Amino acid sequence: MIIVMRKGAINGELDRVVSLIEDLGAEANVDYGVEHTIVGIRSGKHNLRPEQFKFLPGVEDVIRILKPYKLASRTFHPRDTVVQLGMAEFGNGRLEIIAGPCSVENREQIVETAKSVKKSGAGVLRGGAFKPRSSPYSFQGLGKEGLELLAEAREETGLPVVTEVLSIANIELIAEYADMFQIGARNMQNYDLLKEVSGVGKPVFIKRGMAAKIEDLLMSAEYLLDGGCEQVILCERGIRTFEDATRNTLDITAVPVLKKLSHLPVVVDPSHAAGHTDYVKSLALAGIAAGADGLMIEVHPTPESAMSDGQQSLTFDQFENLMKICRSVADAVGKDM
Ligand code: PEP
Ligand code: MN
């Protein structure tokens, strides 16, 4: 961190800044410039925050040099993290596919979907048992029964399963059935939930909040890493903008930015970004081209009768066709699928 003193700051103000730095266990290097005096801080293992200095008399600006997230950043962990889930390896130069319905609805629906998406090329099955719905009157998920059905689908196909955890109260139950926890967009900044989930010892798939900056997502990942979970996958699923022609706006730029800033694998969810089947293919292909390590796609045997997100879910045939085109794009950017 660097502290820029105000032009004309008096010696007492500088002394106060320097002694605070030293009191906090760090080292101060003062550079007396013609216009401004600059104080460089070597903080070592001491975690100093800009707010501790920003409002001191004589301070003009405090500039961070390193990112506020350490464990999630490439600075401290230059090599890509690989998250292994069954046969799928996120972050290992491959394109991995997570597919399945928005919600688990019944045995036939989830087992048939699992078989079909596996045949088309998916390596992980998704399906919500606890659903975060905008309306309390909408289908809230089958709960424990949904988890049991996911386990049956895994039994039938060998696909590992990912499902969303909404509350601390259900972590233990979900851990009995799921191979990976999903933290949804609405819970990305539920820090108590992140802390609890991070201690379970299972991978976590964390989706970007709809009003979250890239840095916010990385800070949430930092909670998971700090809590002892090293197997974290980041998901770009579209953010709220002024545009309302689609459900969300897929921030495709987030993919290369996240890949540059962090060692964690990045997955694009074109289904929740688009909100409509018509756009899922384009966004999926854009995600691969931008460098995503994987895709998460909603698939349903009969989208028109789905209990949630049918409008954005692909049929088995649509998914099969999409996988074929994905293979070409993955190949073009040097990724195996
Ligand atoms: C989902 O994956 O079904 C879901 C609810 O996603 P998001 O949290 O991105 O809205
Ligand atoms: Mn959904």
Q: Which long-range contacts (CB under 8 A, 24 or more apart) does 148-152 make?
A: 148/177, 149/104, 149/106, 149/107, 149/110, 149/111, 150/104, 150/110, 150/125, 150/177, 150/178, 151/177, 152/107, 152/110, 152/111
Q: Is residue 232 part of a domain?
A: yes
pTM of the model: 0.90
- Domains identified in the chain, total number: 2
Predicted local distance difference test score (pLDDT) of residue 67: 84
> Do 31 and 140 have their domain in common?
no
> Do 132 and 10 have their domain in common?
no
Reported as a single tens digit per residue, the pLDDT across 242-264 is 999 999 999 999 999 999 999 99
- Cα 330 from chain centre: 21
Strand duo 2-5 + 27-32: pairing: unpaired
Instruction: Give the number of the atom of ligand 1 that is nearest the alpha carbon of residue 132.
Output: 5
- Cα 223 from chain centre: 12
Q: Whose CA is nearest to atom 1 of ligand 1?
A: 102
> Do 35 and 97 have their domain in common?
no
> Do 16 and 127 have their domain in common?
no
Phi, psi of 250 (to 5 degrees): -70, 120
Q: Is residue 177 part of a domain?
A: yes
CA of 18 to the centre of ligand 2 (A): 52
- For residues 108-128, average pLDDT: 98
> Do 263 and 144 have their domain in common?
yes
Query: Domain of 141: which CATH number?
Result: 3.20.20.70
> Do 42 and 116 have their domain in common?
no
CA of 308 to the centre of ligand 2 (A): 6
> Do 43 and 156 have their domain in common?
no
- Domain hosting 287: range is 83-332
- For residues 286-312, average pLDDT: 98
Q: Is residue 75 part of a domain?
A: no
Neighbours of ion ligand 2 (CB under 5 A): 102, 309
Q: Rounded to an integer, what distance in angstroms lies between the CA atom of residue 294 and that of residue 74?
A: 20
- Cα 31 from chain centre: 40
> Do 56 and 145 have their domain in common?
no
Strand duo 37-42 + 2-5: pairing: antiparallel
> Do 253 and 212 have their domain in common?
yes
> Do 38 and 174 have their domain in common?
no
Residue of 213, 266, 259 lying closest to 68 (CA atoms): 213
Q: Rounded to an integer, what distance in angstroms lies between the CA atom of residue 127 and that of residue 113?
A: 10
Instruction: Give the number of the atom of ligand 1 that is nearest the alpha carbon of residue 238.
Output: 9
> Do 41 and 139 have their domain in common?
no
Q: Is the CB of 270 under 6 A from ligand 1?
A: no
For a pocket test of ligand 1, which of 102, 234, 280 has the largest count of ligand atoms closer than 8 A to its C-beta? 102
Q: Is the CB of 272 under 6 A from ligand 1?
A: yes
Angle formed by the axes of helices 254-261 and 277-290, nearest 10°: 40
Q: Is residue 72 part of a domain?
A: no
Tokens of 258: 């996240």
> Do 118 and 15 have their domain in common?
no
Reported as a single tens digit per residue, the pLDDT across 81-94 is 999 999 999 999 99
Q: Whose CA is nearest to atom 4 of ligand 1?
A: 184
Band of the pLDDT at 1, cuts 50, 70, 90? confident
Predicted local distance difference test score (pLDDT) of residue 66: 80
For residue 44, pLDDT beyond 80: no
Q: Is the CB of 127 under 6 A from ligand 1?
A: no
